C-alpha cells in the first residue's frame, strides 16, 4: 500500500482542477440567476447574456470532462466489469482509460484548432463586441486538464491502483 503522501503533488493538481470546475458551475449558475432576476424584476438584460451563457456552458462542459475523467464519475457500462475477476477488472479499467485518453487527446488537439480559428477570424460577441477566443481558450485549458488527469489516472491504474481506491480520491470505478 502506498503512503498517504506518495502522490501529494498529483492530489493537489487533481483538487485544483476539480475546484476550478466547481467554480465554473457557480459562474454559470450566477449568470443565469442574474439574467432571470434582471429580466423578471427590472425588465432589463445583461448585454451579451446569451453569448456569455453559451460560452460559459462550453467552458463548463470541458472542465466537467476534466473533473469526471479522473474519478471515473462519467457514465459507464459495468455489466462485464461487475462479473470479471480482479485481474480482468484492472485490465478493463486500463483499456477503457487508455481509450478515453486517446479520444480526449484528439479532442484537445481539435479544440486548439477552434481556439486558433476563433482568434484568427476575430469572432466577437453580439452586443459588446468582445472577442470570444478567450472563452474558447479557457474551455481548451479544461480539456488539457482532462488529458493531464486521465494520464495521472492511467499511471495510477498501472503503478498504484490502491491510490484510486483511497477515500480521499474516490473509488476508482
pLDDT digits (tens, 9 = 90+) for 33-50: 999 999 999 999 889 888
pLDDT digits (tens, 9 = 90+) for 109-144: 999 999 999 999 999 999 999 999 999 999 999 999
Model-level pTM greater than 0.75?
yes
Kindly tell me the burial class for residue 127, based on how many C-beta atoms sit within 10 Å of its own C-beta (0-12, 13-18, 19 or more): middle
Whole-number pLDDT of residue 164: 67
Amino acid at each position: 500500500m502506498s503512503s498517504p503522501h506518495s502522490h501529494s503533488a498529483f492530489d493537489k493538481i487533481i483538487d485544483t482542477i476539480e475546484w476550478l470546475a466547481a467554480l465554473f458551475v457557480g459562474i454559470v449558475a450566477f449568470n443565469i440567476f442574474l439574467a432571470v432576476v434582471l429580466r423578471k424584476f427590472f425588465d432589463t438584460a445583461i448585454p451579451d447574456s446569451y453569448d456569455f451563457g453559451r460560452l460559459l456552458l462550453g467552458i463548463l462542459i470541458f472542465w466537467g470532462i476534466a473533473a469526471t475523467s479522473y474519478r471515473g464519475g462519467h457514465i459507464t457500462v459495468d455489466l462485464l466489469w461487475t462479473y470479471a475477476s480482479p485481474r480482468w477488472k484492472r485490465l478493463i479499467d486500463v483499456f477503457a482509460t487508455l481509450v478515453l485518453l486517446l479520444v480526449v487527446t484528439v479532442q484537445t488537439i481539435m479544440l486548439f484548432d477552434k481556439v486558433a480559428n476563433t482568434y484568427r477570424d476575430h469572432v466577437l460577441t453580439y452586443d459588446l463586441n468582445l472577442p470570444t477566443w478567450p472563452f474558447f481558450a479557457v474551455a481548451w485549458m479544461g480539456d488539457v486538464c482532462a488529458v493531464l488527469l486521465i494520464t495521472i489516472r492511467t499511471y495510477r491504474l498501472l503503478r498504484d491502483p490502491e491510490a484510486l481506491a483511497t477515500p480521499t480520491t474516490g473509488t476508482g470505478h
